Structure 1
Amino acid sequence: MFIVTNREVDEARTTVKDAFKSQANARGPNELRLAEAVREGGKWKVRILPDQITDKMAKEVGLEPTLDAAGKPQPIFASSYVARRILARVNPKMAGGTGKGRNLLFFVHGFNNNVEAVLDRAEQLEQTYGVEVLPFTWPANGGGVHGVVSYKSDKRDALASTGAFDRCLGRLEQILHAIHEEHVQRVEALANKRYGSGDKIDAEQWDRFFTEQSQKWCPFSVSMMTHSMGNYLFKHLLKSSIYRGDRLLFDNVVMVAADTNNEGHAEWVDKIQCRNRVYITLNERDSALSASRMKLGEQQLARLGHYPHKLDSRQAVYVDFTGQPSVGTSHAYFEGEPLKNERVKRFFQAAFNGETAEDGLRFEAARNLYRLK
């Protein structure tokens, strides 16, 4: 599994605890680093990737350096290496391999999560839903303290990580665009070879072939899940001056147990661009969000992830999990005990795989939400 972070890292270390620090990168909170994590003997081992990859790494994934005007090779960055490795998993045919492939889920975690916990959860998501998970981890360790102080510390870190999150999405956009362009060129060449080009083209057959092959060679979806305080981070990016509103990256955006204000949420939620759905999930009995609201007393307004009122976004699809068997007071009802409820698992299976997930649910018009009951 690959992971992207704005935490301070130690390239010489291979254990999660030593390789990733609890504070932001010393070069600034917008600095991004990439790492590869694997389980060995039940423990996570990590390799912090160099910013500029080696010739051996480039050869491993078939990357050729571009040349500048003077004919000098330009450096290849780790993000291009990671993109090729992930592409081989989500779309093996396009990468020259075999197999069915899988969809990609970009995961942004919440409050008080160390990197080992993030990797554990990402692994559970992969195993449960059959997706390839790319986690973005920000310094959400509470600064080594607990309770209200920890919570406030993580909120400050989330705000400071807004720029890094934006850079991460920007680079992801560039990578997906490059993959798309490579894919289009390949399919166009196949269509031209079979049905001609210019004045000799069979336009109807060419278009049909292009459409069919596009789906065949690029069958995977890309979705994002933001959990808990990860939604606070997303909110502040959407409300910031650096956010570009035309960024269309994801099929689904799934905002689970959002630890951010319900009040005024439509203002920023309606800025989200996606191809299919923006889902906001709620659980009125969510114990973590209840505690979150109490931490700051009257200053902390009702949380978006547990308040079934004022659900007024024009594009969001609200889904209420309250009272569902096995859900109880869960804050992470996409994993563990709640998945004994087949309706819960079915919803997240569809949502995380870029599909329409509300089909078959009961819509309550008075509150503008769907219920699993």
Structure 2
Amino acid sequence: MFIVTNREVNEAKHDAAGAFGDKPMAGANSLRLAEASRKGKKWHIDILPDTLTPELASKVNLDAEQKHFASAYVARKLLSLCSGGGDASKGKNLLLYVHGFNNDMNDILERAEQLEKNYGVEVLCFSWPANGGGLQGVLSYKSDKRDALVSLGALDRVFEKMSDFLAEFNQQYVAELEAKAEAKFGGNSEAWDRYFAKEVNKKCPFTVNLMLHSMGNYLFKHLLGSSTYTANRLLFDNVVMVAADANNQGHAQWVDKIQFRNRLYITINENDMALRASRLKMGEQQHARLGHYLRRLDAQNAIYVDVTHMAHIGDSHAYFEGDALENAKVRTFFNKVLNGESGERTAKFDVARNVYRL
């Protein structure tokens, strides 16, 4: 599993608590990459060097005599994993996971591992300093909101790097494929298009999706409103906003800016205890949270999904894991949307509220 982070890192440490710090790195947009592997019940962390060693470069078929950055290593590893090493039947869809408030690295890795196991995806985790700065309660919540705002540029760079690598990967292959299509079907445009579409899918049979949980949505909201936001190219098949700890009021203004190929989902649990608590922590200036409020659901490009009264949901803030998965409809929904498919087809639509119920 790979992690991209703007946390301070310690390359000499290999445990999650030691390798990742609780504060942002110096330089607002700085990023580091790490590889995490399970060693029994614990996680082993390797912070990747900014510039690849010849050994790491050779592992992903890069010229060991040239200078390469860690991002090139991670991109090639992920592309190989997601494409099944050339065997599409063994491939996985890629999920960029942005976590929420008050998460330490062990919690984040455990959750990311469960996402991989439950939904068969390959997870790339963006981790920002969401540990509350060692504080508790209201102070911790306010500290994490400040760290989320500091992390905007870093998340923007993640989107931009992902987009650049996917474009580079596709550009080379598309040029080769166009030449083959022209040689085979130069005089038959219909056959040319059919051949091209079929062969492209063979080479890149996976989808790229984004899951934002809790305060990860607050970070995303402010990135979309930032004048420095540049990574606005079409990147994700599905964007899934789970238990969004952002204002319901006025959310359409930024949600309608989000680009995607297939669907944008916003899930809601009116009984979400964590979102109720987050509203109380900030007092009256904290408006109703998007992830637990069934009014003013007015974004034009969003599909709202209400899970409030479903079995095994209760007051859960993370109803994509744990007991909630005993509900087959919930498991099926998340399995589809986190893999780039449409998840609302069998749901009932409440026209008055503009929301689907599974």
Normalised TM-score (structure 2): 0.97
- The answer to whether residue 125 in structure 2 is matched with residue 135 in structure 1 is yes
User: CA–CA distance in 1 between the matches of 2:84 and 2:174?
Assistant: 17
Pair 1:319 & 2:311 matched: no
Match of 1:359 among 340, 345, 357: 345
Distance in 2 (alpha carbons) for counterparts of 1:77 and 1:336: 37
Aligned to 1:173: 163
- State the distance in 1 between where 2:84 and 2:311 align: 38
Deviations 1:72-122 (A, max 9, x none): x7521111110100111100344xx67520100000000000111111000
Q: Residue type matched to 1:106 in 2?
A: L
Q: 1:204 to 1:311 in 2, by over 3 A?
A: closer
> May I ask how many residue pairs the two structures share in their alignment?
358
Counterpart-to-counterpart distance in 2, 1:179 and 1:246: 19
Alignment match of 1:148 (pick from 138, 142, 166)? 138
Which of 99, 104, 109 is the equivalent residue of 1:114?
104
The amino acid of 1:45's aligned partner reads: H
Q: Is the 8 A contact 1:33 1:49 kept in 2?
A: yes
Aligned to 1:218: 204
**Of 205, 217, 225, which aligns to 1:231?**
217
Cα distance in 2 for partners of 1:209, 1:34 equals 38
Contact 1:245 1:271 in 2 (8 A): no
Map Cα deviations across residues 251-289 of structure 1 (whole Å, 9 max, x no partner).
Answer: 000000000100000000000000011100000000000
1:42: Cα distance to partner?
1.6
Which amino acid is 1:79 matched to? S
Matched with 1:81 is 73
Structure 1 residues 170-179 or 280-289, which shifts more? 170-179
CA distance in 2, matches of 1:160, 1:218: 34
Given that 1:245 and 1:272 are in contact with CA atoms closer than 8 Å, whether structure 2 keeps it comes out as no
* Residue aligned with 2:139, SS: helix
Q: Which amino acid aligns with 1:331?
A: H
1:163 aligns with 2:153: yes
8 Å CA contact retained: 1:276, 1:354: yes
Distance 1:128 1:146 in 2: 31
1:1-373 paired onto structure 2 within 5 Å: 1-25=1-25, 27-64=26-63, 75-94=67-86, 99-192=89-182, 195=184, 201-244=187-230, 246-372=232-358
State the Cα distance separating 1:220 from its structure 2 match.
0.4
Distance 1:231 1:151 in 2: 14
CA-to-partner distance for each residue in 1:145-188, whole Å, 9 max, x for gaps? 11000000000000010011101111111011111113213423
**Paired residues of 1:8 and 1:22 also in contact (CA < 8 A):** yes
> Which consecutive unaligned segments of at least 5 residues does structure 1 have?
66-72
Change (3 A) 1:92 1:186: farther
Report the 3-state secondary structure (helix = DSSP H, G, I; strand = E; otherwise coil) of the residue aligned with 2:290. Answer: coil
Contact 2:156 2:231 in 1 (8 A): no
Deviations 1:312-350 (Å, cap 9, x if unpaired)? 101100000001000000000000001100010111011
Residue 192 of structure 1 and its aligned partner are, at CA, apart by 4.4
After superposition, the Cα gap between the structure-2 partners of 1:272 and 1:131, relative to the gap in structure 1 and judged at 3 Å, is: same
The Cα of 1:191 is off from its aligned counterpart by 2.8
Q: Give the distance between the partners of 1:371 and 1:204, measured in 2 at CA.
A: 41
Q: Is the 8 A contact 2:156 2:223 kept in 1?
A: yes
Paired with 1:13 and 1:182, the residues of 2 have a C-alpha distance of 38
What TM-score, normalized by structure 1, do the two folds share?
0.93
Structure 2 CA distance, aligned partners of 1:124 and 1:206?
42
CA distance in structure 2 between the aligned counterparts of 1:286 and 1:50, rounded to whole angstroms: 40
- Contact kept, 8 Å, 2:157 with 2:231, in 1: the verdict is no
AA partner of residue 92 (structure 1): G
8 Å Cα contact 1:184/1:214 also seen in 2: yes
Runs of 4+ in 1 over 6 A off after TM superposition: none
Letter in 2 for 1:16: A
> CA separation in 1, counterparts of 2:82 and 2:180?
22
> Structure 1 residues 123-132 or 243-252, which shifts more?
243-252
Secondary structure at 2:115's aligned position in 1? helix
- Does the 8 Å CA contact 1:183/1:218 hold for their aligned counterparts? no
Name which of structure 1's ranges 237-246 and 131-140 shifts more when overlaid on structure 2. 237-246
> SS where residue 8 of structure 2 aligns?
strand
The answer (yes or no) to whether the contact 2:177–2:196 under 8 Å persists in 1 is yes
SS of residue paired to 1:274: coil
Cα distance in 1 for residues equivalent to 2:232 and 2:9: 32
Q: Please give the secondary structure, in 2, of the residue aligned with 1:127.
A: helix
Amino acid at match of 1:2: F
Q: Which amino acid aligns with 1:313?
A: A
